[in-house]
Structure 1
Amino acid sequence: MTTATVTAPIQPGTWTIDPVHSTVGFWVKHLMVSKVRGKFENFSGAITVAQDGTPSVSAEIAVDSINTGNEQRDNHVRSADFFDAQTYPTATFTSTGVRPDGDDYVLTGDFTLKGVTRPVELKLEFNGVNPGMGAGPVAGFEATTVINRKDFGIDIEMPLEGGGVVVGDKIT
């Protein structure tokens, strides 16, 4: 495991990812000219900060909770053509390391989707700590990455008559 001591003013312990104040979202090219944006309504996770400041992250996403604002599309993405949510109901992330990257960090880990696990790197921005509103301190982070859906067995081809594809390969 590659680790780096994080000098951010965050207290050691376990910080629960708050689904009320968090989003697991994505976008993908659609019809070669636009972006479909979506999110997952159900997810959970935690950030555990060691005494030396080193964080580790674990998260679980219910893939059947996808919401792109189009019920027909969401049902298709839940199907075996894409997520096969009935067979593989969750996607997971488990960190394997963290390293500084200027003012931000790179969080490495194993991401599992549709039964396939691949290493990924997420750009991690630490947004600070706030005393909160009576329930204890809160910390803010933003993590982004780009994956190729085909790396996770989502290899449906939907070609367009004039060239190109309905759904792009890269998911942000």
Structure 2
Amino acid sequence: MSNIKWAIDPTHSEITFKVKHLMITTVTGYFRKFDLEVETETDDFNTAKKIQFSADINSIDTGNEQRDAHLKSADFFDSEEEAHISFIGKSYKVSGDEGELSGDLTIRNITKPITLKVEYGGTIVDPYGQTKAGFTLAGKLSRKEFGLTWSAVTEAGSVVVSDEVKLNIEVQLIKQA
């Protein structure tokens, strides 16, 4: 029996990150171009054998071109050296509609383990006959652990950009024929 392949539906998915600015407000950023491949043994995602994700750093969008250019620079993601962020899933454990996805996240050629909380939204057949599955993922990481060490402090001593980055991901998968 061959594995079932699932591909991301980019028009019904979003990859966002949130970072504190001056420790008083939160800035949200998006990756506009990304890819996700999942393989399962059955329609049950507990049987996931392959979970591979990548995001195009040059598609970063925070609603401010100057900030986006800074994020793509060597101060942060250094998109000229490494154009993508990647995640390889190692284990998916589920209890009811909630679970945990653990794997290896690679940013700037630095790979670290990360665990994301997963909420399974369900599987449904859409009006076009496609089987779709929905998930919400959330987690956080220390940007400095991945070499995103740029920092600045205001005259009053406030940190400009927090170390903690919150991840919020909405994923809709399409079962491949």
Is TM-score (shorter-chain normalized) higher than 0.5?
yes
CA displacement at 1:102 relative to structure 2: 5.7
> Counterpart of 1:75?
69
- The aligned runs of 1:60-139 (5 Å cut-off) are 60-101=54-95, 103-139=97-133
Deviation string 1:10-65 (CA, Å, 9 cap, x unpaired) is xx611101111100111000011000001011101112112474123111100111
Identity %: 37
> Counterpart of 1:57?
51
The 2-side partners of 1:166 and 1:121 are apart by 27
SS in 1 for 2:89: strand
The 2-side partners of 1:95 and 1:110 are apart by 7
Deviation string 1:98-141 (CA, Å, 9 cap, x unpaired) is 11256401000000011100000010110001111214111101
**Which amino acid counterpart does residue 107 of structure 1 have in structure 2?**
L
SS in 1 for 2:144: helix
The 2-side partners of 1:15 and 1:109 are apart by 18
How many pairs does the alignment contain? 161
**Which amino acid counterpart does residue 85 of structure 1 have in structure 2?**
S
SS in 2 for 1:145: strand
Structure 2 residue 41 is the aligned partner of structure 1 residue 40: no
**Which amino acid counterpart does residue 155 of structure 2 have in structure 1?**
E
In the alignment, structure 1 segments of 5+ residues that lack a partner are: 1-11
Instruction: Tell me which moved more, 157-166 or 107-116.
Output: 157-166
> Counterpart of 2:137?
143
Deviation string 1:136-160 (CA, Å, 9 cap, x unpaired) is 1111011111010001001112111
The 2-side partners of 1:141 and 1:81 are apart by 32
The 2-side partners of 1:157 and 1:99 are apart by 36
The 2-side partners of 1:135 and 1:150 are apart by 45
SS in 2 for 1:20: helix
SS in 2 for 1:74: helix
CA displacement at 1:164 relative to structure 2: 2.1
The 1-side partners of 2:69 and 2:157 are apart by 25
The 2-side partners of 1:109 and 1:21 are apart by 23
> Counterpart of 2:19?
28
**Which amino acid counterpart does residue 24 of structure 1 have in structure 2?**
I
**Which amino acid counterpart does residue 26 of structure 1 have in structure 2?**
F
